[in-house]
């Protein structure tokens, strides 16, 4: 796993994908927006590193249903207590599968951004999810 | 969100043809996404007045993404079976 910054004051985003060009894009893009960025090549399903990293948000980009491994990773991330609460933005071109699952994904804290997307769409989704999570944590602290 | 979710439901079953088509679409969408992203970054660099050498790097990456896109189209054309 590559961690591009150790600054503890900026939200840390973990980008997971098996394509180096996509990971490079996410790193360049999100660092320029002021986020800490870690990238994961998605070669195994050991969640230890992800838990240690404790990202504020995960951007998961993969080819739905044609890579069994990526699907099981998504399930593991949601079922493991150490990662279940981390918001996930799923970048995928699998329009039909997303439609078939209806609102299930959103109910599980998974926001879908369909590929190809305009970068503003992705950034808005990230800002929205991070803002929501911050508000939830604040309410939890206040309450 | 305090509870652990049961995990997302399984994706719908797909035939071999549907999977092959999905792979083709993935091969098109991914480099297109990278190209769009690199254009965005290039515009950001231009607005900031970044060094031309950095913009040149962006252009090179954009070119690579477009070449991948062209290769994906070639594969799609080679694999077509409907006519």
Element (H, E) at A24: helix A20-32
What's residue A94's pLDDT? Answer: 77
Q: What is the pLDDT of residues A19-54, one digit of tens each?
A: 899 999 999 999 999 999 999 876 567 788 899 999
Domain regions of chain A by residue span: 2-142
Task: Name the burial class of residue B18, with classes exposed (0-12), middle (13-18) and buried (19+) by CB atoms within 10 angstroms of its CB.
Answer: middle
Q: Which residues contact B50 (CB under 8 A, 6 or more apart)?
A: none
pLDDT in the model for residue A5: 42
Domain map of chain B by residue range? 16-79
Contacts of A96 in chain B (CB under 8 A): 12
What confidence score (pLDDT) does residue B7 get?
Answer: 65
Whole-number pLDDT of residue A105: 82
Cβ of residue B37 closer than 8 Å to a chain A Cβ: yes
Separation CA A19–CA A126 (nearest Å): 20
For residue A72, what pLDDT is reported?
75
pLDDT digits (tens, 9 = 90+) for B18-37: 778 878 888 899 899 999 99
The residue of chain A with its CA nearest to that of B12 is: A97
Q: Which CATH superfamily is domain A2-142 in?
A: Response regulator (3.40.50.2300)
State chain A's mean pLDDT as an integer: 81
- Name the residue in chain B with its Cα closest to that of A102: B9
- What string of DSSP letters covers B22-78? HHHHHHHHHHHHHHHHHHHHHHHHHHHT--HHHHHHHHHHHHHHHHHHHHHHHHHHH
| Rounded Cα distance, A123 and A88, in Å | 13
pLDDT given at position A109:
81
Shortest distance, CA A29 to any CA of chain B (angstroms): 7
Task: Report d(CA A52, CA A54) in Å as an integer.
Answer: 5
Q: Are B55 and B42 in contact (CB under 8 A)?
A: yes
**pLDDT for residue A61:** 78
User: What Cα–Cα distance (Å) separates residue A60 from each residue in B3, B6, B13?
Assistant: 21, 19, 21
Distance CA A15, CA A28 (A): 11
Q: What is the pLDDT of residues A61-102, one digit of tens each?
A: 766 545 555 677 888 888 899 999 999 999 888 777 777 776
Across the interface, which of B22, B38, B65 has its CB nearest the CB of A66? B22
The pLDDT of B34-44, averaged and rounded, is: 94
Nearest residue on chain B to A106, judged by CA atoms? Answer: B8
Task: Report DSSP state, residue A44.
Answer: -
Angstrom distances, CA of residue A136 to CA of A99, A111, A143, B40: 28, 16, 10, 31
A63 touches chain B (CB under 8 A): yes
How far is the C-alpha of A35 from the C-alpha of B19, rounded, in Å?
35
Model confidence band, residue A138 (pLDDT cutoffs 50, 70, 90):
low
Name chain A contacts of B34, Cβ cutoff 8 Å. 21-22, 25
* Mean pLDDT of all residues belonging to chain B: 84
> Side by side, which strands form the sheet with A12-16?
A2-3, A36-40, A12-16, A57-61, A88-92, A110-114
Cα angle for residues A40, A61, B61 (degrees, 5° grid) = 80
* Residues of A in Cβ contact (< 8 Å) with B29: 93, 115-116
For B68-79, what is each residue's pLDDT tens digit?
999 999 988 888
């Amino acid at each position: 796993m590559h961690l591009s910054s150790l600054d503890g004051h900026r939200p840390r985003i973990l980008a997971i994908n098996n394509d180096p060009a996509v990971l490079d894009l996410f790193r360049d893009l999100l660092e320029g927006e002021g986020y800490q960025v870690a990238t994961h090549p998605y070669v195994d399903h050991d969640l230890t590193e992800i838990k240690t990293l404790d990202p504020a948000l995960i951007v998961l980009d993969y080819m739905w249903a044609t890579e069994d491994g990526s699907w099981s990773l998504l399930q593991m991330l949601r079922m493991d207590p150490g990662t279940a609460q981390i918001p996930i933005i799923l970048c995928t071109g699998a329009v039909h599968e997303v439609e078939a699952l209806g609102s299930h994904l959103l109910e599980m804290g998974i926001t879908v951004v369909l590929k190809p997307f305009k970068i503003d769409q992705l950034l808005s989704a990230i800002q929205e999810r991070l803002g929501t999570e911050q508000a939830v944590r604040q309410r939890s602290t206040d309450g | 969100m305090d509870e652990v979710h049961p995990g997302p439901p399984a994706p719908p079953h797909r035939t071999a043809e549907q999977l092959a088509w999905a792979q083709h679409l993935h091969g098109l969408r991914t480099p297109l996404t990278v190209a769009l992203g690199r254009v965005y970054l290039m515009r950001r660099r231009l607005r900031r007045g970044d060094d031309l050498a950095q913009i040149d790097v962006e252009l090179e990456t954009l070119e690579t993404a477009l070449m991948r896109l062209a290769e994906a189209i070639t594969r799609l054309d080679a694999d077509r079976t409907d006519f």
